[in-house]
Amino acid sequence: GAVVSQHPSRVICKSGTSVKIECRSLDFQATTMFWYRQFPKQSLMLMATSNEGSKATYEQGVEKDKFLINHASLTLSTLTVTSAHPEDSSFYICSARGSSGGVTDTQYFGPGTRLTVL
């Protein structure tokens, strides 16, 4: 089946540093990638939607200068949390939209990245 990978799975960083999270679709081409944030015991919150080769569309309330998204190819999207602060600590999940294994046009999620900012 379709696989979406995220790297790293866990990251601990100091306040003020930047962290880059990679999201890759491993066996299909993702026309669209989504980045979500999840707080403990809560639902996923969509941060932004990105199409390959174009600028990401951010949801209301999400700072585009703080959460930089690059979708350079049909299989890779990156989320960079710039000048991270403790309140940015969260679980970040990417999702890739594509077709794989006979299932057309659905979304597959990465395993998530746990970010802890000290």
Cis peptide before 8 (omega within 30 of 0): yes
Pairing, β 103-109 against β 44-51: unpaired
C-beta closer to other proteins: residue 8 or 16 = 8
Q: How far apart are CA 9 and CA 63, in angstroms?
A: 23
Contact residues for other proteins, defined by CB under 8 A? 32, 34, 38, 42-44, 46, 49, 57, 91, 93, 95, 97, 103, 105-112, 114
User: For residues 82 and 89, which CB has a smaller minimum distance to other proteins in the complex?
Assistant: 89
Q: Which is nearer to other proteins, 35 or 67 (CB)?
A: 35
Shortest separation between residue 16's beta carbon and other proteins, angstroms: 26
Residue 35 CB, nearest approach to other proteins (Å): 12
Using CA atoms, how far apart are residues 23 and 89, in angstroms rounded to an integer?
18
Q: Which is nearer to other proteins, 93 or 117 (CB)?
A: 93
Q: Count helices and strands (H / E) in the chain.
A: 0, 11
